């Protein structure tokens, strides 16, 4: 397994943002894979507040998404959860989150933002992407067997254009999505072994996703 080197004088934290509606084993496996392969001291999960790219979808109340993320991360001492986005008014942009973390940790900490391969291919549509890529590195998470040819070319182009730190990390091929989980719950299909048991119990006890639209 390839392990990347990093500066011994700087800590390295990975940031995993997302709606986590709900969080599942795919999120957790990706976070742990990045933490291990990129020698990160910890992964910070940041449930989205009001992301502009999700404005056409009603999200589950942020308190539920935050508590589920806390439950899912609790068993790993290298994971922590932040409420900085759900406490922010208006649209929540990744740039504002990274600026907050950069101010909090200073230059002694290197920040890496975890995202999916498809999202990284579209990163130049993100809000103030040039400024963002100067403040943190990015990690594109893929499944083993994923065709990385377009992604590798995109990373090469971004590195040449913005002089950014970019990585590709393969993680176990857990083909799970929050959309599929919400659908299964609506249809009364088991989600056991797709999410931590604490999450399944929380969803059941709060009757989440029972009467929602499938494409929420």
- Retrieve residue 216's tokens: 């929420």
pLDDT for res 213: 43
* Residue 216: inside a domain: no
CATH of the domain at 71: 3.40.50.620
* Residue 19: inside a domain: yes
pLDDT for res 6: 46
pLDDT for res 67: 98
Residue 88: domain span: 11-205
Residues of the chain predicted below pLDDT 70? 1-9, 53-56, 212-216
pLDDT for res 30: 96
* Residue 212: inside a domain: no
Q: Name the domain count of the chain.
A: 1
What values do phi and psi take at 40, rounded to 5? -90, 140
Q: Do 88 and 49 touch, CB atoms closer than 8 A?
A: yes
pLDDT for res 174: 74
Query: Residue with structure tokens 């999202």?
Result: 119
3-state secondary structure of 99: helix
pLDDT for res 197: 98
* Residue 211: inside a domain: no
């Amino acid at each position: 397994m390839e392990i990347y080197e990093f500066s011994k004088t700087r800590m390295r934290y990975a940031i995993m943002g997302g709606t986590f509606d709900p969080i599942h084993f795919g999120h957790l496996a990706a976070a742990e894979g990045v933490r291990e392969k990129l020698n990160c001291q910890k992964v910070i999960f940041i449930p989205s507040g009001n992301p502009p790219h999700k404005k056409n979808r009603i999200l589950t109340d942020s308190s539920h998404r935050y508590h589920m993320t806390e439950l899912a991360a609790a068993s790993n001492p290298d994971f922590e959860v932040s409420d900085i986005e759900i406490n922010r008014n208006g649209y929540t942009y990744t740039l504002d989150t990274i600026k907050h973390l950069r101010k909090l940790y200073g230059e002694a900490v290197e920040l890496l933002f975890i995202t999916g391969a498809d999202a990284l291919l579209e990163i130049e549509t993100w809000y103030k992407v040039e400024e963002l890529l100067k403040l943190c590195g990015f990690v594109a998470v893929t499944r083993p067997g994923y065709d990385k040819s377009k992604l590798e070319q995109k990373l090469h182009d971004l590195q040449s254009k913005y002089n950014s730190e970019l990585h590709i990390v393969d993680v176990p091929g857990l083909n799970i999505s929050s959309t599929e989980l919400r659908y299964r719950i609506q249809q009364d299909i088991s989600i056991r072994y797709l999410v931590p048991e604490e999450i399944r119990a929380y969803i059941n006890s709060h009757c989440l996703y029972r009467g929602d639209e499938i494409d929420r």
